[in-house]
Amino acid sequence: MRSVYLPFHIPSIGEEEVAEVVDTLRSGWLTTGSKTARFEDDFCRYTGARYAVAVSSGTAALHLALAAMGLRAGEEVIVPTLTFAASAEVVCYLGGIPRFVDVNPRTLTIDVEAVEAVLRAGREGRTIRAILPVHYGGYPCDMDPLMDLSKRYRVAVIDDAAHALPTFYKGRMVGTLADVTAFSFYATKTITTGEGGMLTTANQDWASAMRMMSLHGITQDAWKRYAKGGSWYYEIARLGYKYNLSDIASSLGIQQLRKCDDFLRRREAVARRYTDAFSGCPGIDLPESTRTSCGTPHGAMRHAWHLYPILLDLERLSIDRARFIEELKGCNIGSSVHFIPLHLHPFYQNHFGYRPGAFPVAEDFYAKCVSLPIYPRMTDEETVEVAEAVTELVDRFKR
């Protein structure tokens, strides 16, 4: 057993980030300014996106995307049930209705056939305005058929890429595939600004709208009011929010983005060790997307490895998933569960009538999954210790 607790995640912050933040602190300009503009420009170059808008969180990014496309009360957005709270709650912020669908059992991303069935059936008196796919754990959704459905049914695709920097789909980076893509830079994400997010799009009108709405709906370049070349005068052009990203946070993002590829290679190394250790281990199964993303040359698809979930074969074990997590904690190893399907939560049951049993693939996955630590600061020795602890627990508690 480890003598020191290994957290589920530790951000990888180096001296470069510290120096960039100190430079910002000493500049006298702390809120949205030149560092944020630089972060946005760097992000465009990195992803290949035409426009990027930095915001205060991934949730804010999704909210602004739906607001920019004009989602109205009573309109529906198709969302996979296997996702975090933010993906659906932003629909509710605007009075919309989250229309949940199941996930593909192979990839754990949105089930394209289920999306098409919802679009084809429609709903009397209701309008479906958007599809909101989630790249679960960093594995890409099947975007081509989703974009085809968006054209055929005239719905937008708002891409939830909170897990997906950098994720590649058929050689193209996520962030350039959908109408709008929302990234998260929360403390546990593949790069972090502490709290923060980014929107990317090729649509200039949407980019302008999202930028304006990110700061109270005030006319462009409102942040320059207190600079030498700025003006005190401003106009509120549309309803907005307080979603701008500070230069302090952007300073972290500038340096984190430079390390993004190195971070990915390290997570890939951890994932390969895990997959080697768990393949063929009685009591543990792996999602197909995990098995097929390790140990092969990088092709058109590339997993970002934000998460590494395993599936417990509970019929082979004498303990349940909650006890397994506690036993791991007793080995000084942190873990988590991603996610409790949204349709199982009281809010969505009470407000929209969802019930258990509605989405069996997501429910079955949720009942068995455990997310293991996977981040660049993990050493080879720590990775081996996690793998050994998991396999030893499975062996100790086998039926």
Mean pLDDT of the chain: 95
Confidence check: pLDDT of 135 > 60:
yes
What single DSSP character describes residue 110? B
Q: Measured between alpha carbons, how far is 348 from 344 in angstroms, rounded to an integer? A: 7
- pLDDT grade for 54, boundaries at 50, 70 and 90: very high
Confidence check: pLDDT of 383 > 60:
yes
- pLDDT grade for 233, boundaries at 50, 70 and 90: confident
Percent of the chain with pLDDT over 90: 91
Classified as helix, coil or strand, 71 is coil
Q: What is the pLDDT of residues 157-189, one digit of tens each?
A: 999 999 999 999 999 999 999 999 999 999 999
Which pLDDT score, from 0 to 100, does residue 394 have? 97
Q: Measured between alpha carbons, how far is 227 from 350 in angstroms, rounded to an integer? A: 49
Which pLDDT score, from 0 to 100, does residue 122 have? 77
Q: Measured between alpha carbons, how far is 281 from 284 in angstroms, rounded to an integer? A: 6
Confidence check: pLDDT of 196 > 70:
yes
Which pLDDT score, from 0 to 100, does residue 220 have? 62
Other Cβ atoms closer than 10 A to 301: 17
**Opening angle at CA 376, ends 298 and 133, nearest 5:** 60
Percent of the chain with pLDDT over 70: 96
Using a 10 angstrom Cβ sphere, with 0-12 exposed, 13-18 middle and 19 or more buried, the burial of residue 210 is buried
Q: Average pLDDT in the 47-71 region?
A: 98
Q: Average pLDDT in the 51-69 region?
A: 98
Q: Average pLDDT in the 257-269 region?
A: 98
Which pLDDT score, from 0 to 100, does residue 371 have? 98
Which pLDDT score, from 0 to 100, does residue 290 have? 92
Classified as helix, coil or strand, 43 is helix
Q: Measured between alpha carbons, how far is 32 from 43 in angstroms, rounded to an integer? A: 16
Using a 10 angstrom Cβ sphere, with 0-12 exposed, 13-18 middle and 19 or more buried, the burial of residue 241 is middle
- pLDDT grade for 232, boundaries at 50, 70 and 90: confident
Global pTM value? 0.96
Q: Measured between alpha carbons, how far is 44 from 67 in angstroms, rounded to an integer? A: 22
Distance (Å) of CA 119 to CA 99, 101, 146, 351 = 11, 11, 11, 22
Contact (Cβ atoms closer than 8 angstroms) between residue 104 and residue 112:
yes
Distance (Å) of CA 197 to CA 25, 170, 250, 252, 285 = 21, 24, 10, 12, 33
User: Could you tell me which of 388, 386, 385, 365 has the C-alpha nearest to residue 105?
Assistant: 365
Q: Average pLDDT in the 221-243 region?
A: 80
Confidence check: pLDDT of 294 > 80:
no
- pLDDT grade for 1, boundaries at 50, 70 and 90: confident
Bigger pLDDT: 219 vs 75: 75
- Determine the residue type at 143: M
Confidence check: pLDDT of 296 > 70:
no
Q: If you write DSSP's letter for every residue of 119-168 in order, what string do you get?
A: HHH--TT--EEEE--B-GGGPPP-HHHHHHHHHHHT-EEEEE-TT-TT-E
Q: Measured between alpha carbons, how far is 32 from 221 in angstroms, rounded to an integer? A: 10
Query: Could you give phi then psi for residue 311, rounded to 5 degrees?
Result: -115, 125
Is 189 in the active site? yes
Bigger pLDDT: 238 vs 223: 238
- pLDDT grade for 223, boundaries at 50, 70 and 90: low
Identify the weakest region by mean pLDDT among 224-233, 275-284, 313-322, 341-350. Answer: 224-233
Using a 10 angstrom Cβ sphere, with 0-12 exposed, 13-18 middle and 19 or more buried, the burial of residue 168 is middle
Contacts of 143 (CB under 8 A, 6+ apart): 133, 157, 169, 170, 177, 178
Distance (Å) of CA 235 to CA 126, 215, 216 = 35, 12, 10
Q: If you write DSSP's letter for every residue of 293-307 in order, what string do you get?
A: TSSS---S-B---S-
Q: Measured between alpha carbons, how far is 50 from 140 in angstroms, rounded to an integer? A: 20
User: Could you tell me which of 137, 142, 136, 214 has the C-alpha nearest to residue 177?
Assistant: 142
Q: Which regions of the chain does DSSP assign to beta strands (E)?
A: 51-55, 76-80, 97-101, 128-131, 156-160, 168-169, 172-173, 180-184, 197-201, 284-285, 308-312, 369-372
Confidence check: pLDDT of 298 > 60:
no
Q: Measured between alpha carbons, how far is 390 from 335 in angstroms, rounded to an integer? A: 11
Counting every residue written for the chain, the total comes to: 399
Q: What is the pLDDT of residues 316-361, one digit of tens each?
A: 999 999 999 999 999 999 999 999 999 999 999 999 999 999 999 9
Task: Give the active site residue among 35, 151, 189, 259.
Answer: 189
Classified as helix, coil or strand, 176 is coil
Q: What is the pLDDT of residues 96-134, one digit of tens each?
A: 999 999 999 999 999 999 999 999 997 666 799 999 999
* Structure tokens given for 181: 């893509």
